[in-house]
Structure 1
């Protein structure tokens, strides 16, 4: 018999994240996905071309467990902890998304109009992906970290730059969702 479980509620996952952060702080480690990308690029030899990637990657090898954990955790979440119930969206949000060309908002985890493989054939989609990727990469480097690093590690260790970065992330997200996204779609 196959049981479909709902994702863990916040009162279980939140304290687990806090426990992991307490352990990382205790051992003097930090968490962030962009740190993992830097380590992987360094392992691949990027340090020969760019000084930013020229560091002792063996000191950061432990951090790659986050990447493997995200991959394994994503697999477990999709295959064992998910159900077929769509996301419960506000009716106003559904109408706004449909007006932008999203035909089934909330019915899938991510919108097929952006993430379906057939969409990659569109030059518009490729341009959006390239420009978006460059902006995310620039922003991550400029802010000295990504959203997970600043919002989870930085805020839990009371770092003022992380608070400023997280406020900037939210402002940027609001601007994107309310002003730029409607122009693109």
Structure 2
């Protein structure tokens, strides 16, 4: 029982993800969160305004369980599988984040310096959300999928475009971390 009520190690969660991928491949399905956004927009009537949203969303209805599972899984993980311990970060990461003005580093997953209401509702916070949301939306459409779709499904199916996209995601993450984040904070 103690094992269940703590964060699961990679050697448990990794094979479970692999099992899900094998089942998806067996049933001829693909997985990705951004495709769910397209489905939800189509359900909401976006097909009236854009050809991209004119498709049979009912054929993708099964994929909406991914959204529901992510919500339920996130709740279960934070409420029942978290031991509320400090996140293990390297001393260098703690020092770097401290230079940006972060305090209580590693004590929670959502630092108040970014996710606190005072920061979210500021001009800077709203600007980051709007620009970041646009870039994520544009990027997932331009790349033909999101990080989960390419890194999990695409690489599992040995798709070269997904490998190229994942390499691009990592390069973008490095650029964000080392060049853009210091400008923002």
TM range (shorter): over 0.9
Question: Deviation of residue 67 (structure 1)?
Answer: 0.4
Alignment match, 1:103: 103
- Encode CA deviations 1:7-44: one digit per residue, 9 max, x unaligned: 11111111110010000001100000001111011011
Tell me whether 151-160 or 47-56 shows the greater mean CA deviation: 47-56
Q: What is the CA deviation profile of residues 44-89 of structure 1, one whole-angstrom value per residue up to 9, with x for unaligned ones?
A: 1111111111100000000000000000000100100001111111
Match of 2:84 in 1: 84
Give the whole-Å Cα distance in 2 for the aligned partners of 1:22 and 1:121.
Answer: 43
Q: Any unmatched runs of 5+ in structure 2?
A: none
Match of 2:12 in 1: 12
Counterparts of 1:133 and 1:104 in 2: how far apart (Å)?
Answer: 27
Q: Please report how far the alpha carbon of residue 104 of structure 1 lies from its aligned counterpart in structure 2 after TM superposition.
A: 1.7
Q: Residues 75 and 164 (structure 1 numbering): CA distance in 2 closer, same or farther, change over 3 Å?
A: same
- Of residues 169-178 and 2-11 in structure 1, the stretch that sits farther from structure 2 once superposed is 2-11
- Residue in 2 aligned with 1:57? 57
1:145-164 aligned within 5 A: 145-164=145-164
Report the alpha carbon displacement of residue 3 of structure 1 after superposing the two structures with TM. 9.8
* Preserved contact between residue 4 and residue 82 of structure 1 (Cα < 8 Å): no
The residue aligned with 1:169 is 169
Which residue does the alignment assign to 1:41? 41
- In structure 1, runs of 5+ residues without a counterpart are none
Shift of 1:4: 8.6
Equivalents in 2 of 1:182, 1:6: separation in Å?
34
Q: Give 4+ residue runs of structure 1 displaced > 4 Å after superposition.
A: none
User: How far apart in 1 are the matches of 2:59 and 2:70?
Assistant: 20
- In the alignment, does 2:93 pair up with 1:93? yes
Equivalenced residues, count:
184
Q: 1:21 to 1:3 in 2, by over 3 A?
A: closer
Structure 1 pair 107–4 and aligned structure 2 pair: CA distance change class (3 A): farther
CA-to-partner distance for each residue in 1:72-119, whole Å, 9 max, x for gaps? 000100100001111111111111111111112111112111111221
Structure 1 residue 175: deviation in Å? 0.7
Task: Give TM-score, length-normalised by structure 2.
Answer: 0.96
Matches of 2:120 and 2:99, distance apart in 1 = 22
What is the TM-score normalised by the length of structure 1? 0.96
